[in-house]
Amino acid sequence: MENKDFERKDIIGWGIDANPLDVPSYPMKLRNENDNKGMTWERPSQQLAQVEILTSNERPTITAVFGTPNPPSGLSGKIRRYAFKFSESSYGHWLPLLLADRVNMIEGVVDDFKRGHFPNIFSELGGKSELKHNPKGFARKVLVGLAITAAIVMVCRRDNDDEDDEY
């Protein structure tokens, strides 16, 4: 559809930058004849998907290559599949993915136990280096942790006492 209210040639200077191969921008974009023509390039050969690959709904097809480690699985995988029903501009996409990541963390611990591996959380958190380079900070964290644990225990006990009083 074209606006017939005016003739473009009557607009002084119109078209001075119309040649897409001659755009004086910084830094100079390497324009080529395929600009503004959509997905017109000669595509690389396609990697075969041996595992489930979730694909953004803002693409017509899967990309020619992709990473295959850690395909979606379990509850986190279900949440991820749900997330990919939404576009990248939607909270419905990103928030479920963040939730899936937290669920996946718990699944990871369960998987470790299943494989007979008891995760050394202290080591995974870099506890040794904290102890070596920041002993005061380490002590503070331990004390805060103990205080929070003690508070939780006390609250739980008080709740139990209240329940006992009901009978």
Q: How far is the CB of 22 from other proteins (least distance, A)?
A: 15
Give the separation between CA 128 and CA 119, rounded to whole angstroms: 15
CB of 152 to other proteins, least distance (A): 19
Binding site for other proteins (CB under 8 A): 26-27, 29-32, 34-35, 39-45, 47-48, 50, 53-56, 58-59, 62-70, 76, 80, 84, 88, 91, 93-94, 97-98, 100-102, 104-105, 107-109, 111-112, 119-121, 123-130, 133-134, 137
Nearest one of 105, 103, 61, 113 to 82, comparing CA atoms: 103
CB 49, min distance to other proteins, A: 9
- Closest to other proteins by CB, 65 vs 156, is 65
Encoded tokens for 81: 């599949």
Of 88 and 159, nearer to other proteins (C-beta) is 88
Please count the helices (runs of H) and the strands (runs of E) in the chain.
5, 0
Angle at 33 (CA atoms; ends 28, 36), nearest 5 degrees: 85
Element (H, E) at 14: none
**Minimum Å distance from CB 61 to other proteins?**
9
Longest dimension (CA), the chain: 93
